[in-house]
Each structure stands twice: as structure tokens, then as C-alpha cells.
Amino acid sequence: AQSVTQLGSHVSVSEGALVLLRCNYSSSVPPYLFWYVQYPNQGLQLLLKYTTGATLVKGINGFEAEFKKSETSFHLTKPSAHMSDAAEYFCVMANQGGKLIFGQGTELSVKP
């Protein structure tokens, strides 16, 4: 069965510090992987996606993620956190039919 696990339900960083949100997946077929962000009282916005090709994927707002098949991971990083990055982040996998499987989410807090 396909599944997504996010390590840490809450991550807190200082403004300007590195952001690292961890995600591991389980899939018997090559996965399509995504990171979505959800701001309070808003819908989900796509940050970045991995389908095929280059394993280092760059997204919006300075975020990037690296697909590592050997580690079944797709961690999200940003070199320097900004206050506006505070939000809920979801690691997501799409199955062959295009249905999305979400991780539990990681709430990112950014301290001034």
C-alpha cells in the first residue's frame, strides 16, 4: 500500500535559519511526489512537484526538495526562513489514478 510519513508534526526555526521538513514515502511503483502549503483559512497551494527526471526539484518561494529513491525520501528545504513561511506543509504522493495521498502535515513556525 502507498503511504506518506512526515517526521515531526511541528517544526520551529528562527528567521534566516535553514528550513528542513522531512518526508518518507512507501510505494511499489515510481511515485509522483509533491509538497503543498496551506496557510490559515486558505486552500492548498502547490510548492513543487517531482514526476520524472531531475531529482532536485525547485519550487516557489525559494523551496526545493530532493527525491532520493534509495532512502525513499523527499525532504523539503529552504536556505533561509522568512516569517511569511509560517504555515502547514504537506508531503503528498499521487497514485496511478491521480488520487492524492497526504502525509499528516508539519506545522512550521518562524521565530523573529
Q: Which residues bind other proteins (CB under 8 A)?
A: 32, 36, 41-46, 49, 51, 90, 94, 96-105
Counting Cα atoms < 13 Å in the Cβ hemisphere of 44 gives 12
Shortest distance, position 15 Cβ to other proteins, whole Å: 25
**Which residues are CB-contacts of 73 (< 8 A; sequence separation ≥ 6)?**
22, 23, 24, 25, 66, 67
Minimum Å distance from CB 103 to other proteins? 6
> Rounded to whole angstroms, how far apart are CA atoms 60 and 104?
22
Q: Which is nearer to other proteins, 8 or 16 (CB)?
A: 8
Shortest distance, position 94 Cβ to other proteins, whole Å: 5
